[in-house]
């Protein structure tokens, strides 16, 4: 029995220390997923903590039907999606809405010609990801940022394989459109 399995058993019996050991290797990926889903560090830290606590609470529902990492991803993405849906219902401003009203999350600095430096590319990508809808964002982040296989993403999001593939493909197209718009915008500003 590997350590994960052993810790899982112990954690399910209420051993907090075992649970801590179990989740520690996954904290970075959990946080990264939250960061990309929520778009800022504060929310990401809150959601990642929430995800870990919820994982503890629902450990009894995990029956080893999938890999532990898959299950934890699933809990995490649900936590983020729930929060994002709640916020959408609260009519709080999403970046998308803010963008419509003229807000520009990325400050397109005056850069010579095509020399987008890494930092800027990163920021552009981040804001482009944030502009996707939550469900699209989840699929794209899991696939292209975290590099998970389609099958695992399907399990995490509870969708069938084809839906996942088409959703990711649509997300990429949407992302490219946003990036193109951004490029046009900064080109115009420069003129």
Partner 1 sequence: MKCALFLQNLDGYLDESLSGIEMEAMREHLDACAECQKAYREQKELLDALGHLDEEVFAPDDLVEGAMHRIHKERSFRRRGPWVLGGIAAALCLTLGLTALMGGMGTMKENWSSSPAEAPTALYASGAGMDNGFSADMAEMPEPMPTMAAEKGYAMQAAPAGEERASDVSGQSEADGETMTQGAEHGLKIIREARLEMQTENYEADREALISLVSSLGGYVTSSEESGSAKLMDQGGGNRYVSMVLRVPSSRLDEFLEQARAVGIPLVSSVSEQDVTGQYTDTDRRLQAYQKQYDRVLAMMDKTATVEELIQIESELSRLELLIEENQGMLNYWDGRVNYSTVYVYLNEVRRVTPADPTLAQRLQNALANSWDDFKEGAKDLLVNLYGSIPYIVTWVVILGIAALAAVLAVRRVRRRRQEK
Q: Tell whether residue 104 is a contact of partner 1 (CB under 8 A).
A: no
Q: In this complex, which beta carbon is closest to partner 1, that of residue 86 or of residue 122?
A: 122
Report the residue from 27, 66, 70, 78 that binds partner 1 according to the rule CB under 8 A.
27
* Least distance to partner 1, CB of residue 8, Å: 14
Report the residue from 63, 92, 147, 160 that binds partner 1 according to the rule CB under 8 A.
147
Span near partner 1 by CB under 8 A; candidates 25-33, 61-69, 77-85, 96-104 = 25-33
Q: Tell whether residue 36 is a contact of partner 1 (CB under 8 A).
A: yes
Span near partner 1 by CB under 8 A; candidates 16-24, 61-69, 79-87, 182-190 = 16-24
The per-residue DSSP string of the chain comes to: --HHHHHHHHHHTT-HHHHHHHHGGGHHHHHHHHHHHHSSHHHHHHHHHHHHHHHHHTGGG--SSS-HHHHHHHHHHHHHHHHHHHHHHTTPPPHHHHHHTT--SS-----STT---HHHHHHHHHHHHHTS-HHHHHHHIIIIIS---HHHHHHHHT--HHHHHHHHHHHHHHHHHHHHHHHHHHHHHH-
Report the residue from 4, 32, 78, 105 that binds partner 1 according to the rule CB under 8 A.
32
Q: In this complex, which beta carbon is closest to partner 1, that of residue 169 or of residue 181?
A: 169
Q: Tell whether residue 69 is a contact of partner 1 (CB under 8 A).
A: no
């Amino acid at each position: 029995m590997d350590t994960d399995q052993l810790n899982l058993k112990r954690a399910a019996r209420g051993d907090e220390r075992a649970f801590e050991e179990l989740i520690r290797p996954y904290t970075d990926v959990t946080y990264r997923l939250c960061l990309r889903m929520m778009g800022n560090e504060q929310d990401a830290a809150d959601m990642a903590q929430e995800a870990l606590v919820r994982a503890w609470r629902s450990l009894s529902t995990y029956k080893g039907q999938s890999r532990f990492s898959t299950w934890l991803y699933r809990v995490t993405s649900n936590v983020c999606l729930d929060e994002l849906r709640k916020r959408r219902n609260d009519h709080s401003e999403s970046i998308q809405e803010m963008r419509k009203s003229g807000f520009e999350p990325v400050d397109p600095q005056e850069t010579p010609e095509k020399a987008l430096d890494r930092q800027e590319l990163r920021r552009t990508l981040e804001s482009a990801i944030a502009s996707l809808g939550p469900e699209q964002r989840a699929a794209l982040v899991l696939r292209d940022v975290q590099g998970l296989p389609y099958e695992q993403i399907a399990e995490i999001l509870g969708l069938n394989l084809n839906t996942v593939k088409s959703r990711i493909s649509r997300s990429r197209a949407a992302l490219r459109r946003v990036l193109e718009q951004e490029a046009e915008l900064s080109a115009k500003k420069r003129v």
